[in-house]
Structure 1
Amino acid sequence: MDGHLSARLGTVRCSNHRGQRPEYFCCGQLICSLCQVGHSNHKSLCTIETKRNDIQESVPYFLTKLGEVRANTDRQISNYESMLERNSREQTNNKKNIHKRIQGVIDYLKKIESSLKEDCQKRHEKVSEILNKIIDECKTTLIEVQQIKTCCERIPSFNSALETVRVGVRVNQQMGELDSKDNHQPQPQIPEFISPHNLPGNGLLRKIIGTMNDGLDMDSDWTTDENEKFEIKEKFEWKQKRIGISPLGRDRAWLYPMDTGGNIFLISHKRGLVKEIKNEKHRKIEKIYTTNRMNAWVTDIEKCSIKVLRETGELQHRFHVAPFHPFGICPTKSGEEVWICLADKSSFIPELKGRTMVAKMTTFGEKVCEIESPGGKTHFTFPYRCTENINEDLIVVDRIKETKGQIFIFDKSCQPKCGYIGTSVDREFDPRDVCCNSKGIIIISDYSNHAIHILSPDGVLEKLLKMDAHGLFKPLSVATDASDKIWITFDDGNVTIIVNYVNCLEKKS
């Protein structure tokens, strides 16, 4: 190499001085000895031999660096290839995941489509049912209109007998006035769905109102003998008035202010406070009914909702019944449905017309059936409370006026079975609550008459408990516990527990 380089330098001449051979290196070029004078003060000035040695010494260093660059390049290429392979795998996996998710969305949309079709089918069937019902009602109305038309056509033929009828009415009124002076005995009021043609039998009449003259009247001496005896087990006064009660087990009960939005209390039979539940949202609770499973159904009349009260004190929303307001509530014997007294107004207003009914619903708010026009005639005036006995009969308290009401009893097929309007024809029956014990005995609180009515499971009056004889007035809420004791609350805040009220019934049976 040295010979080759020398040979090449031998043919090179200085670019500034013709014919001079270069002997030095400076400023990046070869120069001759004449040019060296002008570069003498340059630091880079050196002989060609010196420059050649420097280049030879730096070659290994550059070769090393070149090897490092090559190795680094190989590494980067390897990383790039690995990244390409990884990206390819991830792309494949992503395609599979995307396809799987798309398939999941498609399956979900198919389920929604199926659910919508099923829901539309159900709604279509419901609309068809409603339309058929409307058509049937229209047909009935047309028949009634035709009957009215026929009656109107016959009216002219009655004109000749009209005067005779008027004379008869006046005579009847005069005779009635004479009779009332001697012996005032008005006829009993009977629930409208029971036909007067069914009343001549003494058994049916007793089932409806009790036998007229068998000594069961409020003011008769019958109420002072063995049939009225009972035992007051506990009696205490609560700090609030107008409270409802719902026993929990054998020796505890829920106490709650009715329709005022106060707190709920769990008390013992000795008046001890077990638990207090804050009613922070001021729910206006109308009725609490405890089940055998120790949970309780609650009606919130202001929010048109049904709630469940756990034994732990937790109050959970279950479902709404809007536009109706719920009043009374009770579970069915199976526990799978509840009966609810519904009205389209949030409080009882005498003689105010509106829509009312008693509806059976599932525990999640789906309507199973409803009773709105018992016997196909007049609807309830105001269904206020309800309960179900061991025969699966439904007993409903229907308020007519502020101090007047009646009891309807329906069998398990929701057909009218019988009714009850109290013990005396000259005193208004004022039921406010109803319950049944484990033997099916029906227990009714009579607010204005300060009494508790005890009826057989078939609705026959068997016993009358006069609470005013014990200094207790205006019973409001009544309920039985697991041992069949009767818990009663009164308008002034008194709470009473009574026992031994069915001895006479047990002897009869």
Structure 2
Amino acid sequence: MTWTLIDQENYSIRYRGGDIDDDLLESMSGQIFDLDDISAREANSFQYSEYLVLLSGALSEDECYLMAGKLDFIELVNRQGEKKQKFRIDLNDFCLNNNRIYFTSGGDNSIYYLSPSGSISKLLSTDPLEPGGICNSVDSGFYVSLEDSETDAYTLDSHSRRLVKHLTLTGDGIHEYEFREDGQTRLFTRPYRLCQNNNSDIYVTNSTKHETGEVVIVFARDRLRSVYRGQNLKEDFFPSDIVCDSTCNILVIETSNIHLLSPEGEFLKYLLREKDVTHPLVLSLYKSALWVGTAEGLVKVVKYKGCHDI
């Protein structure tokens, strides 16, 4: 760092040169990108099961854990469809963290973790609330969606509990997201699948009726950012899964399409349409590999090109 003398005799002002940080400059001034440059192209596909694929969790670009309906196990499968490892567990959802599989179980309202050796340990009980979706936190621990089973599914009253809870990896509670800032208006009807982006915003698929839903976006502590309810759909919007990419854009899957949303929840484009993948149900993203499971038991591995690749 050098100092430059402005005027030696009459002024005391000096100038110090600085360094330009390209990343900081871009974060301040913004970035222009062409939506056509964000794309998804099928790399390969395979028939995993005769039943619908219910869960997916990518371990790498080449391997993914899968679970199909009517099966009581999750299985590690590579992108050629070769089955590598199987674990028999009862679960609603799972996430991968520190070489462990953390999973929610509605059978006894608990959260467990599975070690690489195959041993299962109970982390905590959520009783009387049933745990549904679970995802990693970008800060620490994970988030889990919870709901009671005693009150009506879609007509909530003062006894209803529908929330998302932030937990440490040892099971300690950090924060609950149930109401908006006023402490009275509910954030969710029936929260389920969820994810968090690198900006710490939380995205939750929320069922509002039997086959109707939305994506609720929450940031900071209990502050609602926005709600996404689909785009020009012929049928009701019912999101079944959601993931974030490395630039905080959101991929939402529903009956016929995969939607690409901005971090603020603004619709950007359809990433995949029904002509590209029929009846998609679940998805998982690892770097540029997007794993998509369908209602027919088909798994497609899609090459995803996002903003970070432009």
* Same fold flag (TM > 0.5): yes
Equivalence for 1:408:
216
Deviation for aligned residue 1:443: 0.9
Aligned residue for 1:500, secondary structure, equals: strand
Alignment of 1:119-138 (within 5 A): none
Deviation for aligned residue 1:249: 2.4
Native 8 Å contact 1:406 1:429 kept in 2: yes
Deviation for aligned residue 1:379: 4.2
Aligned residue for 1:365, secondary structure, equals: coil
State the distance in 2 between where 1:240 and 1:298 align.
24
Gaps of 5+ in 2: 1-34
Percentage of matched positions with identical amino acids: 21
Alignment of 1:163-202 (within 5 A): none
State the distance in 1 between where 2:249 and 2:116 align.
26
State the distance in 1 between where 2:235 and 2:309 align.
29
State the distance in 1 between where 2:39 and 2:250 align.
17
Alignment of 1:114-153 (within 5 A): none
Q: 1:493 to 1:350 in 2, by over 3 A?
A: farther
Equivalence for 1:89:
none
Question: Aligned letter for 1:265?
Answer: E
State the distance in 2 between where 1:446 and 1:378 align.
24
Deviation for aligned residue 1:473: 2.3
Aligned residue for 1:296, secondary structure, equals: strand
Equivalence for 2:145:
341
Deviation for aligned residue 1:506: 5.8
Q: 1:315 to 1:463 in 2, by over 3 A?
A: farther
State the distance in 1 between where 2:233 and 2:257 align.
16
Equivalence for 1:307:
112
Equivalence for 1:372:
178
State the distance in 2 between where 1:416 and 1:468 align.
31
Question: Aligned letter for 1:480?
Answer: L
2:228 counterpart (420, 433, 437): 420
Are 1:444 and 2:248 an aligned pair? no
Higher relative contact order (CA 8 A, sep 6+): 2
Shift >6 Å, 4+ stretches = none
1:474 counterpart (279, 287, 306): 279
Deviation for aligned residue 1:240: 4.2
Equivalence for 2:303:
499
Aligned residue for 1:469, secondary structure, equals: coil
State the distance in 1 between where 2:116 and 2:143 align.
21
Equivalence for 2:135:
330
Q: 1:256 to 1:237 in 2, by over 3 A?
A: same
Equivalence for 2:124:
319
Equivalence for 1:433:
241
Deviation for aligned residue 1:290: 1.6
Q: 1:440 to 1:379 in 2, by over 3 A?
A: closer
State the distance in 2 between where 1:441 and 1:380 align.
22
State the distance in 1 between where 2:154 and 2:82 align.
38
Gaps of 5+ in 1: 1-224
Are 1:242 and 2:52 an aligned pair? yes
Q: 1:484 to 1:320 in 2, by over 3 A?
A: farther
State the distance in 2 between where 1:240 and 1:312 align.
29
Question: Aligned letter for 1:330?
Answer: C
Aligned residue for 1:374, secondary structure, equals: coil
Aligned length: 271
Aligned residue for 1:363, secondary structure, equals: coil
2:207 counterpart (381, 399, 408): 399
Deviation for aligned residue 1:497: 1.3
Q: 1:428 to 1:497 in 2, by over 3 A?
A: same
Under a length normalisation based on structure 2, what TM-score does the superposition of the two structures give?
A: 0.79
Q: 1:240 to 1:303 in 2, by over 3 A?
A: farther
2:66 counterpart (255, 263, 284): 255
Equivalence for 1:39:
none
Native 8 Å contact 1:320 1:365 kept in 2: no
Q: 1:261 to 1:307 in 2, by over 3 A?
A: farther
State the distance in 2 between where 1:314 and 1:325 align.
23
State the distance in 2 between where 1:468 and 1:381 align.
28
Deviation for aligned residue 1:435: 0.9
Question: Aligned letter for 1:437?
Answer: D
Deviation for aligned residue 1:484: 3.2
Native 8 Å contact 1:351 1:400 kept in 2: no
Native 8 Å contact 1:438 1:484 kept in 2: no
Native 8 Å contact 1:433 1:445 kept in 2: yes
Deviation for aligned residue 1:311: 3.4
Q: 1:408 to 1:426 in 2, by over 3 A?
A: same
Aligned residue for 1:468, secondary structure, equals: coil
Aligned residue for 1:230, secondary structure, equals: strand
**Which structure shows the higher strand fraction?**
2
- Report Cα offsets for 1:149-187 as digits up to 9, x if no partner: xxxxxxxxxxxxxxxxxxxxxxxxxxxxxxxxxxxxxxx
Question: Aligned letter for 1:401?
Answer: K
Native 8 Å contact 1:388 1:436 kept in 2: yes
Aligned residue for 2:123, secondary structure, equals: strand
| Larger Cα-atom Rg | 1
Aligned residue for 2:268, secondary structure, equals: strand
1:296 counterpart (101, 111, 117): 101
**Which structure shows the higher helix fraction?**
1
Equivalence for 1:486:
290
State the distance in 2 between where 1:237 and 1:380 align.
35
Deviation for aligned residue 1:467: 3.5
Deviation for aligned residue 1:231: 0.7
State the distance in 2 between where 1:456 and 1:433 align.
16
Aligned residue for 2:92, secondary structure, equals: strand
State the distance in 1 between where 2:280 and 2:155 align.
23
State the distance in 2 between where 1:308 and 1:455 align.
31
Native 8 Å contact 1:308 1:318 kept in 2: yes
